[in-house]
Amino acid sequence: MAAKTTPYEVEMTQSHAPDVANRSLMPKVLLPKPAELITLPSHMACHDHSYTQIVIGLKGQAEFEVRGMGNIVGPGQGCVVTSGSDHAFGGIVGQSDILVLNMPTPSDDDPLLLRKLNELTTSEIYFQLDGQIQRLIQMLVQEMQASPDDLLLGRACNDTVVALLQRHISALASAHKESRFDIEVVDRYIEQHLAQRISVAQLAGSVFLSESQFHVLFKEQMGVTPHQYVLNKRVDMAKQLIEQGRLNLGQIAELTGFSNQSAFTHTFAKLHGISPSQYKRRWSAVS
């Protein structure tokens, strides 16, 4: 992905036979690896190829545009780059690492999943993986990192992940329905990334909406802005951690995604009218 990969390269080799005067040229087809771990460039690059790819985010945030449809791909998210599709890609937040599964070149006897992938419309090419699949992929990625040149391992990784995705092909095909604003999906994303900075673009990407669409729908349905909603989630979790009594306020501020304890105290007091330390004392007095 970081450098243009041709669909295949034909290397002309000579075959020698002692009883044949003329030498024939035999094509040798070099296909891409079945599975690759790639760090995307920090600038946007663009290419196309004649085979389908499944891209899965592992680390950081990346921007993709496939057949004119743009979206953010982060850990646990992915997209399908169908054969022959122009696509652009580049890292936008931190080091952007992805897992790329290179599918066979299209043919008349394609397996059902590959045919379905190649028939996806532009509104169906981005997807979100569930937690179980994400954990399995992380285990496979660790094995690939330990043995980067093991082609058999790469093939096993490709086959395993494709088999997992086959169970979720209906989700791949329905990810972009008009009713796709799902607060449960947004809540899960916030919970999984609560200790980190969370942008509106990232929340929008979790439900496959543009940032502007997401902001309007969110405000209409929730009555608050996404930023305020995330702050409320951070403070609610902070209250739970204070009540558990196992962490100091500095640790709680860090775990709930505040830049420092001062910012945590300011936000907590603004929302609840008392400081975290006052809340802690009150809770200790009644518990």
| CATH 2.60.120.10 domain position(s) in the chain | 9-174
To which residue do tokens 């389908």 refer?
A: 52
Helix axes 276-286, 226-244, angle to 10 degrees: 40
Residue 147 belongs to what H/E stretch?
none
Residue 13 has pLDDT above 50, yes or no: no
Strand partners, 128: 77
Arithmetic mean of pLDDT, 110-114: 59
Over residues 61-105, the pLDDT tens digits come to 888 988 888 888 888 888 888 888 888 899 987 889 999 998 876
pLDDT given for residue 140 in this prediction: 92
Q: Cβ distance 90 to 147 under 8 Å?
A: no
Pairing of strands 126-128, 77-81: antiparallel
Over residues 161-187, the pLDDT tens digits come to 888 777 665 554 444 444 467 898 899
Q: Work out the widest C-alpha separation in the chain, in whole angstroms.
A: 99
The total of other beta-carbon atoms located within 10 Å of residue 53's CB is 23
CA dihedral 85, 88, 92, 96 (to 10 degrees): 60
pLDDT given for residue 31 in this prediction: 65
**121 pLDDT band (50/70/90 cuts)?**
low
198-232 CB burial, b ≥16 within 10 A, e <16 = bbbbbbbbbbbbebeebbebbeeeeeeebeebbbe
Identify the CATH homologous superfamily for domain 9-174. Jelly Rolls (2.60.120.10)
Q: Give the percent of the chain with pLDDT over 90.
A: 36
Q: Give the percent of the chain with pLDDT over 70.
A: 77
Distance CA 41, CA 103 (A): 23
Domain 183-286 has CATH 1.10.10.60: yes
Arithmetic mean of pLDDT, 22-27: 42
Q: Which two tokens stand for residue 149?
A: 């040149």
| CATH 1.10.10.60 domain position(s) in the chain | 183-286
Q: Cβ distance 118 to 82 under 8 Å?
A: yes
Residue 57 has pLDDT above 90, yes or no: yes
Q: Mean of the per-residue pLDDT values for the chain?
A: 80
